[in-house]
Amino acid sequence: MFQDNKKLILEQIIKYIDKNPNCTTKDIANAISHAKQVTLRTVQNYLKYLRDNWKDGKLISKRGRHKVEIYNKFQPKGLEHQTKIFLKLAIEHLENLTDLSNQHHKLIKELNLTNLQNPFFIKAEDYQNIDTGDEEIQELDTAIKNDTNIAFTFRGKDFYVEPYRLVNFDGLWYLYGRDIEEKEGNDHKTWLLKDIENIEVFYGEKYDTSDEEIEEDLQQAYSAHFIPDKEIKVLLKIDSQVADIFRQKKYLPNQHSKVQKDGSLLVTSIISTYADIDQEIKSWLPYIEILEPKEYRDKLKNELKHYLEKIYKQ
């Protein structure tokens, strides 16, 4: 083990090489000899030690010149290994999310997470790319930040809207807001972002819906079709063959499970519209059964009946 003064010399050598890549051994000796009695031979010994024993970085020597890769150079002090791993996973998650994906490799490199041994593999959901520099995205961004009304065309129809947020459901981007001209039914809607055209911002027209109210609504949302302040209780039966898997994860909004004597599960879920869970329910067929409400049970039954009639006619 090196003594404290030798550790200090090692640190000085590493810092000098980091600031002066492709420096020579003589350059290093000259740079630090004013503070310590360090000879060329001593520096050569320290460089050999770094090549053989340094765990926090890598010394690269080629044709008498040196440079370093410091694995945790930009890490906050005391950052635990698991925290670093999940930081890397979080940055990698940006890859297909937005134009920030152009920066995610650079972030990993600058934070020196590139060589981090990662025992975890998480397959991230594919996200529709969104160009935050696009003119229409910029207009929506400005309108949302300024609580300003907008008009736009969506699939050939004109809308006049209070725009609240750009939101992502199942990998797709939507505009969430209130349809001001909606006279019946739910006036809070989502519009698929890629189909919005001809945006016009009304800078003089402000709305007063609070950020707290908007955030609360979105916290309760489980699909792009959600309806604020509406609750539907769904009761399901999960077959014993998949019950254990179903218990390991919250597949449904506000999911609560109760094990039955035969090993099956009774599951309740609170939703705002059947569309919140429709795809999830269908993905678990034939191991899932809707018990309540009867309206939803009959709806799925009729859909399956029509589907079977259609494919068997072919």
Per-residue pLDDT reduced to its tens digit, 148-177: 999 999 999 999 999 999 998 888 899 999
For domain 4-70, give its CATH number from 2.40.50.140, 3.40.50.10470, 1.10.10.10, 3.90.740.10: 1.10.10.10
Domain with CATH 3.30.70 in the chain: 232-313
More confident residue, 146 or 132: 146
Task: Compute φ and ψ for 9, nearest 5 degrees.
Answer: -65, -40
Residue 278: the pLDDT is 93
pLDDT of residue 93: 62
How many Å apart are CA 230 and CA 215, to the nearest integer?
16
Q: Average pLDDT for residues 277-291, to the nearest whole number? A: 94
Asked whether residue 86 carries a pLDDT value surpassing 80, the answer given is no
Higher per-residue pLDDT: 37 or 222 = 222
pLDDT-derived band of residue 1, with 50, 70 and 90 as boundaries? very low
Residues 196 and 136 sit within 8 Å (Cβ to Cβ): yes
CATH architecture of 135-219: Roll (2.30)
CATH 2.30.30 domain residues, the chain: 135-219
Whether the upstream peptide bond of residue 286 has omega within 30° of 0, thus cis, is: yes
pLDDT at 12: 86
Nearest alpha-carbon partner for 271 in 301, 246, 296, 248: 296
- Would you say 292 and 282 are in contact if contact means Cβ atoms under 8 Å apart? no
Which stretch of 36-45, 94-103, 183-192, 263-272 has the lowest confidence by average pLDDT?
94-103
CATH topology of domain 232-313: Alpha-Beta Plaits (3.30.70)
- Quick one: how many helices (H) and strands (E) in the chain? 10, 12
pLDDT tier at 262, thresholds 50, 70, 90: very high
Confidence of residue 78 (pLDDT cuts 50, 70, 90): low
**Residue limits of CATH 1.10.10.10 in the chain:** 4-70
What is the predicted pLDDT for the residue at 109? 66
Task: Write phi, then psi, for 75 (nearest 5 degrees).
Answer: -75, 140
In angstroms, the CA 8 to CA 12 distance is 6
Of 115 and 69, the one with more pLDDT: 69
pLDDT tens digits, residue range 52-63?
888 778 888 887
Backbone dihedral angles phi then psi of residue 61, each to the nearest 5 degrees: -115, 130
